[in-house]
Amino acid sequence: MRIAFLHRSLSGGGTEADLRRMATGLVERGHAVHVFTADHAAPPAGVVAHRVPVLRAHSEALTIECERPITPGDVRDILKKAPGVKLVDDPEKNYFPMPKDATGQGDVLVGRIRQDSSDPSGKSIALFVAGDQLLKGAALNAVQIAEVMIEKGYL
């Protein structure tokens, strides 16, 4: 069962839930929330809402700012070749990183890759990652770091 994507997609890769969560978060922190119309544009904001079943994996919503403009396609191409990363990003099939899927594997799952709507320069990408906190977050990661240190002659 996949529950990562509960609301319809909006242009740019976000969802209605992302926008609702941003407004709710602002209210919870005591901020006024305004309705934006064509006459009053919304300030730039990048948000993500993700409901996840979590047993032993960590997940994070990330925003990465690059030196030059970059597209979600560029990021996907880079991540396809990255060691220790598994691209899990298929909006058509509602398939994105889920902590329950990351549990028990050494790769970090990466998906929901989209342009950050709060950055008009096109240099920022929003994405979601999930990884097994015991394997990649501790044991496997320590072994991989030691292997690199041995290879480079530091140990």
Which tops the pLDDT comparison, 134 or 65? 65
State the CB neighbour count (10 A cutoff) for residue 106.
Answer: 16
- What residues contact 11, with CB distance under 8 A and at least 6 apart? none
CB 7 within 8 A of CB 47: no
Q: What percent of the chain has pLDDT over 90?
A: 24
pTM above 0.85, yes or no: no
Put residue 140 in one of left, alpha, beta given phi > 0 → left and psi -120 to 50 → alpha: alpha
Residue 129 CB-half CA count within 13 A: 17
pLDDT 10s digits, 89-144: 988 888 899 888 998 888 999 999 999 988 899 999 999 998 888 877 677 777 88
3-state secondary structure 19-71: HHHHHHHHHHCCCCCCCCECCECCCCCCCCCCCCCCCCEEEEEEEEECCCCCC
Angle at 31 between CA 36 and CA 53, to 5 degrees: 90
